[in-house]
Structure 1
């Protein structure tokens, strides 16, 4: 399928971030997707990771906290609790003890994996159906939760291609010349690995000239290896110098995200092959156009790089609505830097970036052509900042089964690119509040998702919200009043 600018010189893209749902996709999520497609009239939809809620209890038997785990080996306590509430019994609790290496256990695990594959297909079918019905092509990359269901992203890539309109290319490797083994290179210069590929957009005049390109980037999931549940120090990937990982297990314990220990060594980054490909693919596109010049390009991925903090400015800890940085940026509070960010930008939580800077943003700048990098991952953030010639931006969650802002602010980002100058694009949020209404079908769940507190930093972030702080003061005053009249006053007048 050839993507092409319209005759009026525009190309419209919808970015959908962090659907993060299980087999039964929330109806409010589907309502938002349908309404955004109707309003945005897109030529392309990009899904920027965490489409799958990999830690959903539906996948409890095949859950992988990290890719090198055994299925079901490290299940989070909160997932076990949710499973009990939903009446889901894990495989290892549903019958007599079975040796993990026994044929019976392997047969049960194989059956569980087949069931998980069908559940993942069901999830895909649900959130893709509005795009398929509207005949809008789509592309998907991956986040840090997609694989946790037990189906790794290379297999998920194959599943996406089962649906009409999928533009994810098959990433076949190039055979070596000296034997039959394979390298990590790819036969298609437009594709690097699952979730990392280019989508050239042709000129409106009907020619083969590439006027712009959308780059999908797999930003990885977790760095190194997680420490054990009992607090043992984290180990690291084989061949990776330990000195690169400056964040210790003790530091993580102090500045964690508490509910998910998988990131005890930090979030992941694009692979070295992906970074090299980001440069090489521009050379290829320049050769296709015959002028050797990089084409205007925007990159989409899940996890933001460290440079996103440059869209913020540090402020004192008592500043209303400020958020604390996390991990490598812990100990400092931030707000949106209005001198570099577009009007309407919102910061609702800390930026969850890798502990180490892999140099991706420098690669984009040095290669040329790239004018923007957009991510998801941090569900409550929605801003666009311009730093050193490159736009850095977010789309918030468009899902309703995970944490995020209040219902009215959950949404899908619309881009309108102009053929004569793609870097001068227009962008706005298509929010649930604008398209459907201020309230979802489950405001209690949304309320708790908006006020989720998992550690000391998130508690302090909530208290910096003026309404939350006022409510906390009123609650404290009311409690003091009750205590005074029911206990202390009786003792005083005894």
Structure 2
């Protein structure tokens, strides 16, 4: 069921992105992640929470899920998620884990089309108080690992998903006068390399962009279809940069979980996105860190190559 999301009385809608929580065995590291999530939620008081993959990891994924997401369910606001590559690597598979996710309180995720690749592809509408759709929030399953035997590495968004995404946007063109969209997924698109190499970006790139080796054309579809203003991903734990490529912002969240790899001095946190009902062309975004610091402006990165 498509949960209805509304702008606040002040005309804003705040999204908090957690990513790579990696709740694995209910140990002290996991408990530290829980405390961090509670701290950030208390400080930010979001209207909506989006989790972009790798929420749980290991053979006990399904039994640990409610503990991993206790701060989210306790927050009392709608939330959604996308799968990462590790969520079902061990333990319960996609069907059972998806069912466990969606049974938790206030979960807005659903499987919009059983006929397309992946699990949990969906969209949510953010409406103003006159019931006009202003923003679409897409959750896309970016898969796990490439199933083509001749290709190694990570999976890619499939043709059926791209067709579905375009169809949804085109349907809203017929019934919404002025709307934009954000896309949330786990694995970065190949274009994340291009934006870092050829455009001014803001933030850190401390590891390789672990994008799929196959470019299936999802970014091109977003350009051709219009309306999508940004893509937000996780997956690469010590990257948090954001940059504009041909009018679409390509951004990372900030890795949240302690029970996984990171880098000394690189603090955990979350990304926040603030929408305004009177402006569907842009939005505000910033990062909140574990020490309470808010990064309203990230370090500038000059392109390494000519366009």
Instruction: Tell me if TM exceeds 0.5.
Output: yes
If the length of structure 1 is used for normalisation, what is the TM-score?
0.56
For the residue of structure 2 that corresponds to 1:38, the secondary structure is: helix
Confirm whether residue 51 of structure 1 aligns to residue 55 of structure 2.
yes
Structure number with the higher strand fraction is: 2
Deviation at 1:381, TM superposition (A): 0.2
- Equivalent position to 1:297, from 181, 184, 193: 181
Deviation at 1:153, TM superposition (A): 1.9
Identify the residue that residue 210 of structure 1 maps to in structure 2.
133
Partners of 1:202 and 1:208 in 2: CA distance = 5
Deviation at 1:195, TM superposition (A): 2.4
Identify the residue that residue 199 of structure 1 maps to in structure 2.
124
Per the alignment, do residues 299 and 171 of structure 1 end up closer, same or farther by CA in structure 2, a change over 3 Å counting? closer
Confirm whether residue 40 of structure 1 aligns to residue 44 of structure 2.
yes
Partners of 1:196 and 1:154 in 2: CA distance = 13
Identify the residue that residue 191 of structure 2 maps to in structure 1.
307
In structure 1, stretches of 5+ residues that fail to align are 60-118, 174-183, 186-191, 226-234, 237-244, 246-264, 314-336, 437-494
Identify the residue that residue 389 of structure 1 maps to in structure 2.
247
Deviation at 1:404, TM superposition (A): 1.2
- Residue pairs, 1:24-39, within 5 angstroms: 24=26, 26-39=30-43
Deviation at 1:4, TM superposition (A): 0.6
If the length of structure 2 is used for normalisation, what is the TM-score?
0.88
- Equivalent position to 2:285, from 427, 444, 456: 427
Confirm whether residue 352 of structure 1 aligns to residue 239 of structure 2.
no
Identify the residue that residue 223 of structure 1 maps to in structure 2.
146
Identify the residue that residue 123 of structure 1 maps to in structure 2.
64
Identify the residue that residue 280 of structure 1 maps to in structure 2.
167
Partners of 2:51 and 2:206 in 1: CA distance = 21
For the residue of structure 2 that corresponds to 1:364, the secondary structure is: helix
Contact 1:408 1:432 in 2 (8 A): no
Contact 1:222 1:268 in 2 (8 A): yes
Contact 1:223 1:266 in 2 (8 A): yes
Structure number with the higher helix fraction is: 1
Contact 1:378 1:396 in 2 (8 A): no
Partners of 1:426 and 1:196 in 2: CA distance = 25
Identify the residue that residue 23 of structure 2 maps to in structure 1.
21
The C-alpha deviation readout for 1:152-177, integer Å capped at 9, x for no partner, is 2232111111111001124464xxxx
Structure (1 or 2) with the larger CA radius of gyration: 1
CA RMSD of aligned residues (A): 2.0
Partners of 1:138 and 1:403 in 2: CA distance = 25
Deviation at 1:9, TM superposition (A): 1.1
Q: Which runs of 4+ in 1 moved over 4 A?
A: 170-173
Contact 1:52 1:149 in 2 (8 A): no
For the residue of structure 1 that corresponds to 2:194, the secondary structure is: helix
Partners of 1:304 and 1:361 in 2: CA distance = 11
For the residue of structure 1 that corresponds to 2:216, the secondary structure is: coil
- Residue pairs, 1:39-438, within 5 angstroms: 39-54=43-58, 59=59, 119-171=60-112, 173=114, 184=115, 194-203=119-128, 206-225=129-148, 235-236=149-150, 245=151, 265-289=152-176, 291=177, 295-313=179-197, 340-342=200-202, 345-406=203-264, 409-434=267-292
Per the alignment, do residues 312 and 167 of structure 1 end up closer, same or farther by CA in structure 2, a change over 3 Å counting? same
Contact 2:118 2:142 in 1 (8 A): no
Partners of 2:224 and 2:47 in 1: CA distance = 29
- Report which structure shows greater RCO (CA 8 Å, sep ≥6): 2
Deviation at 1:407, TM superposition (A): 6.0
In structure 2, stretches of 5+ residues that fail to align are 295-307
Partners of 2:266 and 2:237 in 1: CA distance = 13
For the residue of structure 2 that corresponds to 1:409, the secondary structure is: coil
For the residue of structure 1 that corresponds to 2:46, the secondary structure is: coil
Per the alignment, do residues 172 and 390 of structure 1 end up closer, same or farther by CA in structure 2, a change over 3 Å counting? closer
Partners of 1:435 and 1:166 in 2: CA distance = 29
Per the alignment, do residues 408 and 281 of structure 1 end up closer, same or farther by CA in structure 2, a change over 3 Å counting? same
Identify the residue that residue 304 of structure 2 maps to in structure 1.
none
